Amino acid sequence: QKEVEQNSGPLSVPEGAIASLNCTYSDRVSQSFFWYRQYSGKSPELIMSIYSNGDKEDGRFTAQLNKASQYVSLLIRDSQPSDSATYLCAPRGTGRRALTFGSGTRLQVQP
Amino acid sequence: DTGVSQDPRHKITKRGQNVTFRCDPISEHNRLYWYRQTLGQGPEFLTYFQNEAQLEKSRLLSDRFSAERPKGSFSTLEIQRTEQGDSAMYLCASSLDVDGYTFGSGTRLTVV
């Protein structure tokens, strides 16, 4: 089992729709979770962090965490073509100082 | 502060040669990380420094790889006797304690 699992996609949504990106992780004691956006040919960029169960909203982005289910998701409301990128999920396990990245979900927003 | 800086941006080398990459983190960040990324994959952890101490190294990292962070400032990653399988984007990131990372633009290595 991979430490972090993400559907590779592509996930295609029309402009203005909600994009839902999912991630499961194997380390039951992971304490903090990060979402990164990576445009083609560019390096990853931090967009959200979440530490507690529930939802965290920042602009058009909402991160959702369910530690019991070892599941974290990212919702993007009012999706724009500029949101087309690969989204990487990265939990940090207890006792680990480095993040473990999933392979990412490629999102395509159709104009 | 201009963010995390990596040099060079691109490196083409012949198989068997040694290469060295440099990373300058954000000045107030105490943690520095090296990752490697290949096409279609997420970044793969290589090693991590807190200040000048190398605290974690991936089990996947062969003895041909070595990293340093003298004086807790910039870091270098050296690959000895490069192989074609080393071709990848090498990413450096820095953070303040357990905050999320800021990545540099990366060094793209091509081994021919």
Say which DSSP state A28 is in: T
Taking the Cβ of residue B36 and every Cβ of chain A, the question of whether any pair is shorter than 8 Å is answered with no
Q: Is the peptide bond before A91 cis (omega within 30 degrees of 0)?
A: no
Mark yes or no for CB contact A43/B33 under 8 Å: no
pLDDT of residue A28: 84
Taking the Cβ of residue B25 and every Cβ of chain A, the question of whether any pair is shorter than 8 Å is answered with no
Question: Beta-carbon neighbour count of residue A106 at 10 Å?
Answer: 20
Between residues A30 and A13, which one has the greater pLDDT? A13
B98 falls in which pLDDT band (50, 70, 90)? confident
Each residue's pLDDT tens digit, B72-95? 899 999 999 999 999 999 999 999
Cα–Cα distance measured from residue A105 to residue A9, given in angstroms and rounded to the nearest whole number: 5
CA neighbor of B34 nearest in space, from B82, B84, B88: B88
pLDDT of residue A34: 95
Taking the Cβ of residue A93 and every Cβ of chain B, the question of whether any pair is shorter than 8 Å is answered with no
Q: Which of B42, B44, B55 sits opposite A104 (nearest CB)?
A: B42
Shortest Cα distance, chain B CAs vs residue A98, angstroms: 7
Share of chain B above pLDDT 90, in %: 82
Chain A, residues 37-56, CB within 8 A of chain B, namely 42-46, 49
CA neighbor of B54 nearest in space, from B64, B43, B65: B65
Each residue's pLDDT tens digit, A49-107? 999 999 999 999 999 999 999 999 999 999 999 999 999 999 987 666 789 999 999 99
